[in-house]
Chains A and B, each alone.
Chain A
Amino acid sequence: AQSVTQLGSHVSVSEGALVLLRCNYSSSVPPYLFWYVQYPNQGLQLLLKYTSAATLVKGINGFEAEFKKSETSFHLTKPSAHMSDAAEYFCAVSRSSNTGKLIFGQGTTLQVKP
């Protein structure tokens, strides 16, 4: 069975500092991997996705993630945090499009301190 683990339910960084949100997955086959962001009282916005084209994926708002098969990881990074990055971030995995099902991690709340 597939699963997604996000290490750290809360991460706090200072404005301008590096953001690192961790995601590990378990999958018996190469997966599709996604990062979504959820601002308070809103739906999910797609940040970026990995679909086996390139291991380093660039997304919106300066975020990027690197797929590391050997580590079964897909960590999200941003070189310099901005106050507007404060939100909840979800990592998700889909083995294929045949199930229609995204499996989400439990989410990581990012706090950005001035």
Chain B
Amino acid sequence: EAGVTQSPTHLIKTRGQQVTLRCSPISGHTSVYWYQQALGLGLQFLLWYDEGEERNRGNFPPRFSGRQFPNYSSELNVNALELEDSALYLCASSISDLDRETQYFGPGTRLLVL
């Protein structure tokens, strides 16, 4: 069974640009989560999507947004990039019913903002 997949693996952008990161969950999983792992800041919860709706949001500015598509894949968009947005962005998925709390992570997208 394929795990969570993310694209691209690496990305270099400059300040002020916009970026879109993509995530495909494990087959059968309907929830998608996004986390930021920045150097020195640890793993921070960004967003949770379930059944196409945003269910919860972490303490991040509105320029971090996303969406979930009918096939449960998801995009994370970051506008007006700042240097401190440089981080590993991790996507996770979980099944919707009996084991919802267990999140399975993808390999991440490493974003460098210059």
Q: Interface of A with B (CB < 8 Å)?
A: 32, 34, 36, 41-46, 49, 51, 90, 92, 94, 96-97, 99-107
For residue B1, give the distance in angstroms from its CB to the closest CB of chain A: 14
B64 sits at the interface (CB 8 A): no
Summed over the interface, the residue pairs from A and B with CB atoms below 8 Å come to a total of 56
Query: Which A-B residue pairs are the 6 nearest by beta carbons?
Result: A100-B48, A97-B100, A44-B105, A104-B43, A43-B107, A97-B101
For residue B27, give the distance in angstroms from its CB to the closest CB of chain A: 17
For residue B76, give the distance in angstroms from its CB to the closest CB of chain A: 15
Chain A residue nearest in CB terms to B56 = A100
* Pair A101/B105 contact, Cβ less than 8 Å: no
Chain A residue nearest in CB terms to B106 = A43
* Pair A94/B101 contact, Cβ less than 8 Å: yes
* Pair A49/B42 contact, Cβ less than 8 Å: no
Cβ contacts under 8 Å, B90 to chain A:
43-44
Partner of A34, one of B55, B100, B102: B102
Chain A residue nearest in CB terms to B110 = A41
For residue A99, give the distance in angstroms from its CB to the closest CB of chain B: 5
* B42, B43, B50 pick with most chain A CB within 10 angstroms: B43
For residue A101, give the distance in angstroms from its CB to the closest CB of chain B: 4
For residue A108, give the distance in angstroms from its CB to the closest CB of chain B: 12
Give the complex CA separation of A90 and B42 in angstroms.
10
For residue B57, give the distance in angstroms from its CB to the closest CB of chain A: 10
Give the complex CA separation of A99 and B35 in angstroms.
14
Partner of B42, one of A46, A96, A101, A104: A104
